Structure 1
Amino acid sequence: GKFKETVTNDVQGLLSLYEASHLRVRDEEILEEALTFTITHLESIVSNLSNNSLKVEVTEALSQPIRMTLPRMGARKYISIYENNDAHNYLLLKFAKLDFNMLQKFHQRELSELTRWWKDLHFANKYPYARDRLVECYFWILGVYFEPKYSRARKMLTKVLKMTSIIDDTFDAYATYDELVTFTDAIQR
């Protein structure tokens, strides 16, 4: 399948085809060709785009396609792009911002609870060699479960990940070889 060169005049169409081609599965030759075709043409026209909003959208898409973006990070990025689009729907934009901000507040409250839990354990004093990675652990889990309904899973998995990071730090930076052998034997049992 060859693509019509006239398609290259429609930047939004090229961008949509580019994003859609990332949903391909193995041996879908037409979508492989679509990806190559759209990358080639989007890269060649991006610097000549006079519409700055569209230029940013194309640059962002080429840098990180929607398919490869964490949903809420992608939403935040797109809100900024959409806001600068002259044809944006004011109410839709307002709703998107409100939704994003409400969910962000929700996540901040969760992180505050997790921080309190962590401080109450006094692990920073007990294991001073361990890296302070609570926010990082939370962010990793947020990539999997960002919806409010998964609050409990997010908190539990953040705690598991944080404890695992302490074990990792103990193994990597603190324990002696003999202690590591004993520790490994205990885990294998």
Structure 2
Amino acid sequence: MGKFVKRLFGLLLTLVILAGLATAGAIWYVRPQQELTLDHAPLDLVGKVQGMIRSGKAELFLSGEDINNLARSELSDKPQVTPEFRVDGAKFGLQGGLLTADINGRYRDLLDFGLQAKYQLEWRAPNLIATPAGLKLRGLDLPDSLLEPMTIPVGDLLPPLVGIRSVEFRDGGVAVSLELRR
């Protein structure tokens, strides 16, 4: 009987150690792969207006870096995107109408992880709306429903007398055609 109890105890101890190693491995696997922050630079509207004057077009061009800064600004104002999930850092890239994002977050103040998300951009005056189009955790597909749509307030950048006529997604940025309001 003593040998049976020792073997049972040894088996249970082995199982507990294996479960602990599996948990530690999973935590290591989902952790963020890069250091990201929500730091952002303000948009240089004076430089943008000077570029409009030089080109002779009533068009404001927002580069991928401008969109990155605007999106980070929005996230820094409200990093707690759901009750369970807080964004600690992000980096956005723009490819036509597709916004890609590397996101570092924290789940219930317990687990840090890094995600790769894709958003489809569309124009709904006066904002760009980023609708979730894909979510991955280290190559593992997750449901898009875990993401919320994101609003990038382009219209808030402009003075009250200037309106937005149209928006065109281009490689490397977004072209915003402007018009005077009456």
Range class of TM-score, shorter chain: under 0.3
More helix by share: 1
Which structure is higher in RCO with an 8 Å CA cutoff and minimum separation 6? 2
TM value normalised by structure 2: 0.27
TM value normalised by structure 1: 0.27
